């Protein structure tokens, strides 16, 4: 593989790079599951948009989509083909469409430097709405949906966010605060991340996974129980959240990282359903593809919050498409704070 | 014990009977856990209501309340004291209150022939609203709450009711039908009850617990999946319901009979939380004490349905307070169809 592209005249290169899956993971992710390949830059037909991708995001769901059979209603990645995922870029050429070269757009064909996309799969973005176009790749829509529709956070609530230092969780806690939460508690995997949650992201307390019985730790952080839960993780963290849930608590289930990011393939949690009955607790599974209409609302909220300083966009940025496999591997390994982006 | 009461003049006896708990169950319910005791009929003070109880209901929650520690926010029964529970009766004497002798009332001091109740714990009932005063003891409020607020049954839904032949389930299926459900499936414990569900209660199909792998049976009965679930049972039946839940399905958790009525003391179900996320499934624990304001609405609906023949009130009736312990034991053993009432 080379990381240099062949250019023809007119600023558009003849070739670019894409990342292909080479096989299905059997255990921990390794770099040889990915291959960076040089391919020709395609030529758009009428109704198609050629986009120069500038920044892509990696996300936990991509680990799930590397498996052949998943419970997620999205197509699995296919060995021998390029992966896909959210990306922002600039329109290069768009014959027979409403797009103009230079337009800032978002679409779902990341993991490549140039993408050819049918016009109806391309979404125009506003350069003035968010201070940084890469912020369109935040997992804020998922966080916002989970806080507002899933956990229905209300003023004064004690809120628990699991996986709080990740791309989703690092925004969920901030959004809960913005919605008037009285106390926000986050869980994460290390003291460094716990310090970050409390010091930088405005969490009131952080609980470290593995640093002792989880329920006991959470009880210390939430002596009066929890009213709303944003659950990214499942497993013992969800069990602890249920044990501490107050009457009428709402628990948004937005992920199951404890299993998604493990290699066991199981995602089950033992739940005492009678305690859900007795305390009127709701567990609401919620996924963004059922709530896409929230995205513009979130972008409004996010732009305002970034500008007035009430929200921040925690993220790491890696440089170059050849780093994309490492970005996903390190996301799975929990090495980063916030979203993980790759500049293409 | 005797079942005869000593009477003084004026129609009010000097003594009556109450049922006391003698100890905590260690295994299956036995009659020696209960004792029928003759005690004086109490004298009401101003603000108190003396009620001659006429019909009481037994319910699964009473088995739970026989244990010392429960997850239900209601006081456990106390050894040496009378049990309590829903009952209808007639006011005998009510000095310094709005009640008049002869008023039909409902209150929570069953398991005795006469009850002395503070006026604010006594609820007047309308002799013209329901054709049979005992129908006020139906578990319809729980069924109605679960169908309307928990499972949010909508026209055309395929609905699954577990524990469908019990006091709650036998009404839940009928209510689902009344709300426009397209297909209603119930589970129960025997062929006799299954025939009753389909033949008498208007279920489209019945699944028999223990007659084969539950999920496979349910899949045959609901080849297009389920949209709304009324779960009385938990365990494998809830797992099967989740496996067959369509996108956006609502699952009301109203009980956990699989464990409440067993002696294991555990109430856990292994749940694949990622599948709840992926399909946007809601599990809503719901209990009547948080939705008491639905009771008058239900009584309206029930009275109309009983009169026009769109609803029936399946129940068994035992005669005499000395039968109350057997009524509860037989309820737990699943011997009856519908509600189990005792004429006092």
| A119-162 pLDDT, tens digit each | 999 999 999 999 999 999 999 999 999 999 999 999 999 999 99
B269 to A274: CB separation less than 8 angstroms, yes or no: no
**pLDDT score of A27:** 85
Q: Chain B neighbours among A 219-238 (CB < 8 Å)?
A: 231, 234, 238
Alpha carbon of B232: minimum distance to chain A alpha carbons (Å) = 10
**pLDDT score of B6:** 59
**pLDDT score of B322:** 97
Query: How high is the mean pLDDT of chain B?
Result: 92
What ipTM is given for this predicted complex?
A: 0.86
Six token digits for residue B113: 């022939």
pLDDT band per the 50, 70, 90 thresholds, residue B9: very low
Question: What is the dihedral angle through the alpha carbons of B163, A238, B151, B138, rounded to the nearest 10 degrees?
Answer: 50
Per DSSP (E only), the strands in B68-195 are: 87-93, 104-107, 114-118, 123-124, 158-161, 183-188
Other C-beta atoms closer than 10 Å to the C-beta of A293 total 8
Contacts of A277 in chain B (CB under 8 A): 253-256, 285-287
Q: How many residues does chain B have?
A: 344
Residue B261 has pLDDT above 60, yes or no: no
Full set of structural domains in chain B with CATH? 9-138+313-343 (3.90.180.10), 140-289 (3.40.50.720)
Per the listing, tokens 């779960």 go with B231
**pLDDT score of B334:** 86
Residue whose C-alpha is closest to residue A250's, from A274, A223, A218, A227: A227
Q: Least CB-CB distance to B256: which of A231, A273, A282? A: A273
Per the listing, tokens 């640093």 go with A211
**pLDDT score of B171:** 97
**pLDDT score of A146:** 98
B279 to A255: CB separation less than 8 angstroms, yes or no: no
| Nearest-Cα residue of chain A relative to residue B286 | A280
A267 to B274: CB separation less than 8 angstroms, yes or no: yes
- Low-confidence spans in chain A with pLDDT less than 50: 1-3, 8-9, 263
Q: Chain B neighbours among A 40-79 (CB < 8 Å)?
A: 70-73
Q: Quick check: B292 contacting A, CB < 8 Å?
A: no
Bridge partners, residue A13, by sequence:
A7
A230 sits in the region (left: phi over 0; alpha: psi -120 to 50; else beta) called: beta
A235 sits in the region (left: phi over 0; alpha: psi -120 to 50; else beta) called: left
State the greatest distance between any 2 C-alpha atoms of chain B, in Å, as a whole number. 71
Alpha carbon of A288: minimum distance to chain B alpha carbons (Å) = 9
Q: Least CB-CB distance to A271: which of B271, B279, B281? A: B271
B268 to A267: CB separation less than 8 angstroms, yes or no: no
Residue B54 has pLDDT above 80, yes or no: yes
Contacts of B247 in chain A (CB under 8 A): 73, 290
Interface test mutation site (partner B, options A285, A291, A292, max chain B beta carbons within 10 A): A285
């Amino acid at each position: 593989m080379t990381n240099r592209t062949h250019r023809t005249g007119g600023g558009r290169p003849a070739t670019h790079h894409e990342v292909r899956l080479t096989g299905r993971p059997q255990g921990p992710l390794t770099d040889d599951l990915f291959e960076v390949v040089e391919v020709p830059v395609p030529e758009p037909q009428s109704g198609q948009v050629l986009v120069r991708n500038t920044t892509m995001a990696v996300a936990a769901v991509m680990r799930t989509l590397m498996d052949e059979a998943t419970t997620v209603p999205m197509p699995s990645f296919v060995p021998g083909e390029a992966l896909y995922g959210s990306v922002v870029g600039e329109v290069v050429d768009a014959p027979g469409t409403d797009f103009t070269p230079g337009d800032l757009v978002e679409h779902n064909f990341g993991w490549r430097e140039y993408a050819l996309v049918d016009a109806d799969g391309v979404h125009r973005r506003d350069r003035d709405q968010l201070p940084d176009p890469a912020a369109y790749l935040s997992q804020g829509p998922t966080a916002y949906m989970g806080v507002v529709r899933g956990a229905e956070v209300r003023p004064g609530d004690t809120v628990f966010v699991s996986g709080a230092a990740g791309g989703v969780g690092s925004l969920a806690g901030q959004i809960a605060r913005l919605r008037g939460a009285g106390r926000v508690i986050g869980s994460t995997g290390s003291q460094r991340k716990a310090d970050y949650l409390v010091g930088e992201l405005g969490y009131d307390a952080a609980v470290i996974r593995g640093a002792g019985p989880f329920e006991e730790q959470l009880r210390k952080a939430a002596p009066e129980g929890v009213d709303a839960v944003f659950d990214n993780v499942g497993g013992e963290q969800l069990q602890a959240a249920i044990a501490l849930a107050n009457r009428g608590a709402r628990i948004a289930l937005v992920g199951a990282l404890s299993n998604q990011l493990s290699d066991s393939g199981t995602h089950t949690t033992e739940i005492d359903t009678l305690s859900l009955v007795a305390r009127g607790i709701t567990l609401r599974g919620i996924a963004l593809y059922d709530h896409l209409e929230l995205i513009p609302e979130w972008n409004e909220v996010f732009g305002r919050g970034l500008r007035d300083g009430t929200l921040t966009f925690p993220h790491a940025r890696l440089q170059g498409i050849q780093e994309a496999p490492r970005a996903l591997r390190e996301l799975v390994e929990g090495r980063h704070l916030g979203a993980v982006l790759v500049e293409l």
